[in-house]
Amino acid sequence: MKKVLTIAGSDSCGGAGIQADLKAMSAQGVYGMSVITAITAQNSMGVFAVEELSKGIIEKQIEVVYEDIDVDAVKVGMLSSAEIIDTVSETLKRVKAKNIVIDPVMISKSGYYLLKEDAIESLKRFIVCGKIITPNIPEAEAISKIEIKNEEDMIEAAKIIKKLGVKNVLVKGGHREDNCTDILLTETNEIIKYPGVRFETKNTHGTGCTLSSAIASYLAKGDSVEGAVKKGKEYISKAIENSFQIGNGVGPIGHFIEIYNRAGIDYK
């Protein structure tokens, strides 16, 4: 059994954050563990409040997991302040964490800022810890400081981000209207394009969390970065295709669609 740790915020409606991470990891057949950095009050309509945990308890959560368990990969999601970013960075270095996947969560789909503006520079310093970082277009723009309008801009942003020290950069294209291709800039500077299919659904809550967790799961199982991204893309595409509605806003994706189908559940 491969073991994967997620370090992220808690989502009270279960579609994103820690909850989505653990679902995605379970769906890939790995054992998921969690370090909570913040508690969010949110539902399908949006994020309404965030309360950060203290740096002491965040640090201790990481330490005690590594003292007892051999962690095969780490997914890092919501780190809302410079203090939390620095704490996680220093602790992961101290425990010699491997296969770190960084999902630079900045703004929720409802427009709530999950990363404080003064923490972006700390995030840029933290990036060096990652085996791969998975920004969407707004996040890539914030980190690279360039505007992204097309694939050439995505590649340029990936190159700028890679210079910060991360080995691989996956710029996700889901925010583009004309084309949702994701672009991976590898450690050897190879550019790999992963074409996507756009599904007619508003229910995409937690897609970024889920993809990064799936990638971390496949890295834990021994896949290359390129292979992990490919398999992660296949999983997230199927999950989005089989998303469903809960509440009155943006519903979740189908993390366990195969289980639902086998159980005869009418999830739609």
HSE of 59, CA atoms in CB hemisphere, 13 A: 13
181 near 195, Cβ under 8 Å?
Answer: yes
Can you tell me which residue has the tokens 């970024």?
Answer: 208
Tell me the C-alpha distance between 112 and 212, whole Å.
Answer: 20
Determine the 3-state secondary structure of 250 from DSSP.
coil
Strands 31-43 and 191-194: unpaired
Active site residues: 172, 204, 206-209
Q: Which residues contact 187 (CB under 8 A, 6 or more apart)?
A: 167, 168, 225
The residue among 61, 43, 53, 80 whose CA lies nearest residue 206 is: 43
Backbone angles phi, psi at 34, to 5 degrees: -140, 145
The structure tokens listed for 60 are 């201790």
Tell me the C-alpha distance between 104 and 13, whole Å.
Answer: 21
The residue among 160, 108, 169 whose CA lies nearest residue 134 is: 169
Single-letter amino acid, residue 257: I
The residue among 97, 109, 167 whose CA lies nearest residue 136 is: 109
Residue 243 to residues 20, 94, 154: CA-CA distances in angstroms?
13, 39, 27
